[in-house]
Structure 1
């Protein structure tokens, strides 16, 4: 701040130095004026000027130091009042701008909340005709048409479900309920939902559960598993997907392993990034870049780690590593 202050006052300092040099130059050119006394006066005035700068530095930079350290979060309570007219002008404009930004932020937040509520309401309303459509599809006698319609219905259902959970993610902590989750029942429900898609692609499931129950939130765990299973089915064909659970180093682990096309090693660090699809098959219309991102987001409040390993052409393995039992106390807020 001292350097900035000296730069700010460089014109005044330069003017003072010029005046001192002018005084000494006058005494040098005019022999009638004694040089010694004027040199002594210049020396004293320079000391006084340095002291003056030091005093003014403390007073003039107090307000701007506060501005420099201010965290701009629309709160001006920590800023000291401006002393000089210029500081008061700055303070006045800051208060006006902050108040305007606060009002705009409140308005924008209200509009976003209203939009979110409308979207959630719309999703719930769309589920009613979707359920009726599913009943109508089941009555179709043409098996090929029924399977095709079931497949398209499932795609719409999964897209709506993903959108619904994506809107709820920012408030997920308010919706958690930790309990013992029956893993086989949860997996059966998710696989049953994906059955039309699996039949179309010739995919089966090999389920091996050493752990039948896990401590977690059933609804959000189902959403995470749904994203991983959907990814496994999407990039596999005519192969089995192995789902297993076991205990390792005190951690419960749920593993989903497919035999699909796999992931390029250079893409692995980025697969959980929002919107990332692939560098090798960048134009793949099946990829949205949202499934794994949302699964990762949903896993964080549950303290679940997701680890991925893959080899191109050999498939992908996704592991859900659950926290130790005492770590659930943090989730419950105890």
Structure 2
């Protein structure tokens, strides 16, 4: 019954138009002097029969489609069944199927994103337990509080919080981004200064050779995060004392290239292509308890969003070199 009501609503305009058309033809005959009532009645009856036959045939062909769209589907497969016979309904079904395909892609992307976020948060919370436990032990000790140890654990917490905040802000990157002209040397020096305790603790020393007149178009906050990730990794994976981390700039055909090179353990060739994948820690990551596998992933994502090109070269036992390339400007 519902399908009949829907069919009538769908064709009410056609019925009115057909009725007006018959009346208009009869009016023309009347004005032309035609006065045969029987012929007029016969014409109306034939028109009604033909119209009813046409509508009945059309309803039969659409009945299965109406039945599908009027029933509440219990599962997605029912909505995707192909029941249409009319060209318009077939096109509608194709459109619905295409919408469902797009929905599936978006749902899969959302599920992957939520899974990545959940995995990252679980891993991050697990790692943050370590500095908290150390702080609790230090506070329980009756001896004088080791301020250097407390500072070290607080620094680990700070770096962890910064990483998780940047990961959360990555989804709204465009809203948070502010591109401006930034002097490269002060920015790099600031990152080095923020990590000076890490350098001192590991007895690794920075060596900066960045042109004072080099200005780049970037987002200062996000770029500091990128450089911080590279410098932290450079120091963290340099196990020998007295080694250096070289930060330098060079120019190549209208671009500036910021290079960060360490003398650490290097990255195995099998891991080099995967170090920027989310949660990939690799062989080196298993050598430290602090590796989340998210640092280089976030750095690569931010570089791409800022329009900077990033590449990593490494050799086991010789160190790792990271290069960031972007357009540069100079003071006149």
Name the TM-score class by shorter chain. Answer: 0.5 to 0.7
Q: Say if 1:191 and 1:305 are closer, same or farther in 2 by CA, change over 3 A.
A: same
Correspondence 1:83-232 to 2 at 5 A: 83=85, 145-210=146-211, 212-232=214-234
In 1, distance between residues paired with 2:82 and 2:270? 52
Number of the residue aligned with 1:320: 324
In 2, distance between residues paired with 1:281 and 1:189? 27
Unaligned runs of 5+ in 2: 1-60, 66-75, 122-134, 136-143
Conservation of the 8 A alpha-carbon contact between 2:217 and 2:327: no
Conservation of the 8 A alpha-carbon contact between 2:215 and 2:328: no
Conservation of the 8 A alpha-carbon contact between 2:263 and 2:320: yes
Q: For each residue in 1:48-86, what CA deviation from the matched residue of structure 2 results, as whole angstroms up to 9, or x when unmatched?
A: xxxxxxxxxxx99xx9xxxxxxxxxx9xxxx999348xx
Higher relative contact order (Cα pairs below 8 Å, separated by 6+ residues): 2
In 2, distance between residues paired with 1:249 and 1:207? 22
Conservation of the 8 A alpha-carbon contact between 1:207 and 1:244: yes
Number of the residue aligned with 2:56: none
Q: What secondary structure, in the 3-state scheme, does the structure 2 residue paired with 1:300 have?
A: helix
Conservation of the 8 A alpha-carbon contact between 2:216 and 2:327: no
Once the two structures are TM-superposed, the CA of residue 283 in structure 1 deviates from its matched residue by 5.8
Q: For each residue in 1:171-205, what CA deviation from the matched residue of structure 2 results, as whole angstroms up to 9, or x when unmatched?
A: 21222222111222212221222122221111211
Alignment counterpart, residue 258 of structure 1, candidates 258, 262, 286 = 262
Unaligned runs of 5+ in 1: 1-58, 64-73, 120-132, 134-141, 326-334
Number of the residue aligned with 2:54: none
Conservation of the 8 A alpha-carbon contact between 1:207 and 1:243: yes
Number of the residue aligned with 2:126: none
TM-score between both structures, scaled by the size of structure 1 = 0.55
Once the two structures are TM-superposed, the CA of residue 243 in structure 1 deviates from its matched residue by 0.5
In 1, distance between residues paired with 2:200 and 2:165? 26
In 1, distance between residues paired with 2:252 and 2:183? 19
TM-score between both structures, scaled by the size of structure 2 = 0.55
Give the number of equivalent residue pairs. Answer: 214
